[in-house]
Amino acid sequence: MKSSGESIGEAAARFGLDTHVLRFWEDEGLLRPTRDGAGRRLFSQDDVVRVAVILRNKAAGMSLEQIRVLLDEGAPDRHRVLEEHIAELDRRAADIAEARAMTEHALRCRSHDIAQCPRFRSHVGDVLSGEARWLLDRTHPAGGPVDAASGSAST
């Protein structure tokens, strides 16, 4: 008679993951599968839903620490973490909208050198003016991460 729940191999295969990923998430406190009499992990329906939640939120850009807070109903800073993530998603959505507008303009532009097109330049105006602080936060030149305060590579 088959026990209730999926083995770690079955659960991993369901999501196209290696079993070590589920073991790591268990070690990190994100999953709590039960064990059978031989000590093998059994993933219940609730466990596989948690895996799906983890995968969806990782795809949305959440860290494992943020996901841990999300899954912890008693976490005191749950709302703060979620509000910060929403703000990050809004920022990313704005970046994507700008990238789309820039790409659409480049597609329609008659200029062979897009950098010489005055209208296209408007898409990089914030970078040229230094207003695009995201540039410093998201790029890592060969010298290492950029220090946002000084604008130089930190070591």
Q: How large is the average pLDDT for residues 26-50? A: 95
Separation between Cα atoms, residue 134 and residue 95, nearest integer Å:
10
pLDDT in tens, 74-133: 889 999 999 999 999 999 999 899 889 889 988 888 887 888 887 887 878 877 888 876
* H or E element at residue 106: helix 78-108
Output b/e per residue, 2-34; b: 16+ Cβ within 10 A.
Answer: eeebbbbeebbeeeebeeebbeebbeeebbebe
Provide the whole-model pTM.
Answer: 0.69
CATH number of 8-71: 1.10.1660.10
**Residues whose CB is less than 8 angstroms from the CB of residue 125 and which lie 6 or more positions away in sequence, other chains included:** none
3-state secondary structure of 45: helix
